[in-house]
Amino acid sequence: MAEDLVLDTAIRDWVLIPLSVVMVLIGILRYFVSKLMRSFQAPDPKIVKEGQVIIRARNLRSAANFIPARAFRARRIYFSNEENGLLHVPKGQTQNAQAQMFSDPNMAMDMMKKNLSMIIPQTLTFAWVNFFFSGFVAAKIPFPLTQRFRSMLQNGIDLSTVDVSYVSSRSWYFLNLFGLRGLFSLILGEENAMDDTQRMMQMGGFGFDPTKSLSAEKDGLDIVQHEWVLPKFEQRAEAVLRKLVK
């Protein structure tokens, strides 16, 4: 392939640009649809409290050496005793999130709404791109790339002889799907921008179990060795004052 392929300008006008525009519009539309469907969910006091307990226990663990030994021991017992310590999770209560989800229909409903707003438009656009634009070479990037990029940039074209720097239309769709975050943050405001990669991560993160972090924090607290640092501060203060007085 010594000579370059010449891409029809009509491809630019009717494939490359429309595809990008449609992706942006769909992103915006989805933002507004999900805003409509979002239901305000009052946070559960128990979950809020657990979060706060974890923060406080973490503070205790990291700054333990700054308070006297007696104060530290009292707090450790308060947090991690076996009877009613804040971090102690009774065996029977370790209810996993999956079961909780099924017991609470609202939660399942919320999940479904989130899923629907993500999957349906994605499937539809993919089908649309596949139907109308399959097999186009839509663009050429201005620098050469190695063979490894072929699967990324030439999805849908099974020609091993085409130079890798040509981008197929389907790949252009994928690039848009994952790369429009910056644009959305410009259009919709910083905190609203969420691209599909993030959405997927969010999905994966579901099923997080707060009781696990409670018991992890408890284990961490149990092994903390208390060593009061304040006596050292006396020497340091002396050094500071000596310098000051001099």
Partner 1 sequence: MVTKTEEAELNRLESQVEHGGGGAWEYLCLIRKLKIRRSDKVLKHGLSILNDPKKRSSLGDEEWTLYEQVAVAAMDCHSLGVAQDCIKVLSKKFPDSKRVGRLEAMLLEAKGCFEEAENAYLSLLEDNPLDQVIHKRRVAIAKAQGDILKAIEWLDKYLEIFMADHDAWRELAEIYISLQMYKQAAFCYEELILAQPTFPLYHLAYADVLYTLGGLENLQTAKKYYASTIDLTGGKNTRALYGICLCTYAIAQLAKGRNKEDKESGELQSLAAAALEKEYKSRAPSKLPLLNSTLKNLRL
Query: Do the strands 166-168 and 137-140 form a parallel or antiparallel pair, or are they unpaired?
Result: antiparallel
| Given 4, 32, 66, 77, the residue binding partner 1 (CB under 8 A) | 66
| Given 15, 16, 53, 193, the residue binding partner 1 (CB under 8 A) | 53
Burial code (b: 16+ CB inside 10 Å, e: under 16) for 162-193 equals bebbbbbbbbbbbbbbeebeebbeeebeeeeb
Is there binding between residue 35 and partner 1 (CB under 8 A)? no
The encoded tokens of residue 158 equal 């099974």
Is there binding between residue 227 and partner 1 (CB under 8 A)? no
The dihedrals phi and psi of 137, each to the nearest 5 degrees, come to -95, 115
Calpha distance 95→205 (Å, rounded): 17
Residues 6+ apart with CB under 8 A from 147: 164
Number of residues that bind partner 1 (CB under 8 A): 33
Nearer CB in complex with partner 1: 12/236: 236
Helix (H) or strand (E) holding 139: strand 137-140
Nearer CB in complex with partner 1: 75/114: 75
Is there binding between residue 186 and partner 1 (CB under 8 A)? no
Is there binding between residue 234 and partner 1 (CB under 8 A)? yes
| Given 29, 109, 119, 237, the residue binding partner 1 (CB under 8 A) | 237
Least distance in angstroms from the C-beta of 111 to partner 1: 22
Is there binding between residue 59 and partner 1 (CB under 8 A)? yes
Binding region for partner 1 (CB under 8 A) out of 11-19, 67-75, 92-100, 102-110: 67-75
Calpha distance 158→104 (Å, rounded): 48
Is there binding between residue 241 and partner 1 (CB under 8 A)? yes
Residue labelled with tokens 């799907």: 177
Q: What is the binding site for partner 1 (CB under 8 A)?
A: 42-43, 45, 48-49, 52-53, 55-56, 59-60, 62-64, 66-68, 71, 75, 230-231, 233-238, 240-245
